[in-house]
Amino acid sequence: MAALRICPLGGWNATLSLVRGLRVCLLVAAGVSLAACKASVSANVHAEGDVDDAQDFDEPMEESSASTDAFLEPQAADRAMLGARHDLALAAESLEANCTCLAATVGYPSNPAFFWQAVVPTIDASSQLVIAFSSNGLSCTQQPEDSLGASYWGYRREGDNIVVILENARHGRPLTTGAIIPRPVGAGSVYVAPLDKSVPYGRSLDGSGARCRLEISTSSGQPVVPTPSDDGAAAPAP
């Protein structure tokens, strides 16, 4: 019986050559397919927008141009806070009583009735006002012997109104004659009023009312501030 031929014609060398040839063909075909896919993707990018606009996810992402700083208002940080101002007084020429034992002005920082010992502050004119007052040199028969004059105690809201509360200044406590206060809402007004019955400052000028209403002054101009050239003409209320 003739022996069966196990190896293909040409022997093992021919078989290996055939396998290697098939591998080369497969690799070439894969390369052509990949190139075609890339070309398709590139064509889609160009069709939808400029390729330069396409984001490369292999590169670090740049910080957004919309920084949080864009949402901050630089002016807000410079605005003065509400409350007592120890650098504010009423200018001497504005010392005329418009409430019991008190001369007072409410308005904006640039009002010439205000004497600023330092830099004139910036306020939000839509929500803030400045008040300065003095009782020095005014006739006041009700003033207690131990009182050093009218001093700022605080403020309170009453509906749409703002009421500035005054107290008797005494030794050991700072005398405060100015403040930045909230602006009244709507048709509201600014009033001054005494803290209690022992305080004579801040009632209506004729003494019939428990508090005194102040007109908001729209006067503006060069505020009174101390400068090296001052010859004493610009001075706070004595």
Reported as a single tens digit per residue, the pLDDT across 150-204 is: 999 999 999 999 999 999 999 988 899 999 999 999 999 999 999 999 999 999 9
Contact 23/16 with Cβ under 8 angstroms? no
Does 234 map to a domain? no
User: Length of the chain, please?
Assistant: 238
Amino acid at 106: V
Q: Is the domain of 128 the same as that of 32?
A: no
Q: Is 34 a residue whose pLDDT tops 50?
A: no
The residue to which tokens 């927008």 are assigned: 49
On whether the CB atoms of residues 214 and 190 are closer than 8 A, the answer is yes
Residue 25 sits in the same domain as residue 122: no
User: Residue 91 carries which DSSP code?
Assistant: B
Please state the rounded mean pLDDT for residues 8-12.
Answer: 48
Tokens of 209: 């009312």
Q: Mean pLDDT across the chain, nearest whole number?
A: 75
Q: How many domains does the chain have?
A: 2
| pLDDT tens sequence across 134-146 | 999 999 999 998 8
Same domain, 120 and 200: yes
pLDDT band at 2 (very low <50, low <70, confident <90, very high): very low
Which of 226 and 71 is assigned the larger pLDDT?
226
86 Rama sector, left if φ>0, alpha if ψ -120 to 50, beta otherwise: alpha
57 falls within a domain: no
Regarding whether 194 and 117 lie in a shared domain, the answer is yes
Same domain as 37, residue 149? no
Residues 205 and 94 in one domain: yes
Residue 94 in any domain: the answer is yes
d(CA 68, CA 71): 6
**Whole-number Å distance between alpha carbons of 138 and 206:** 15
- Which residues, 6 or more positions from 61, have their beta carbon under 8 angstroms from its beta carbon? 55
Q: Which domain holds residue 153?
A: 78-214
Residue 104 near residue 114 (C-beta atoms within 8 A): no
Q: Are residues 104 and 205 in the same domain?
A: yes
Judge whether 5 lies within some domain. no
Q: Is the pTM of this model over 0.85?
A: no
Q: How confident is the model at residue 228 (pLDDT cuts 50, 70, 90)?
A: very low
**Same structural domain, 35 and 87:** no
Quick one: 83 and 171 in the same domain? yes
- Nearest by Cα to 101 from 214, 205, 208: 205
What six digits make up the tokens of 228?
A: 């090296």
- Please indicate, yes or no, if residue 164 is contained in any of the structural domains: yes
Whether the Cβ atoms of residue 94 and residue 223 lie closer than 8 Å to each other:
no
Residues 106 and 192 in one domain: yes
Residue 225 in any domain: the answer is no
Enumerate residues 6+ apart whose C-beta is below 8 A from 207: 100
Average of per-residue pLDDT across 64-81: 54
- The strand pair at 190-194 and 161-168 is best described as parallel
Residue 182 lies in a domain: yes
If asked whether residues 33 and 151 sit together in one domain, one would say no
Q: Is residue 134 part of a domain?
A: yes
Residues 87 and 196 in one domain: yes
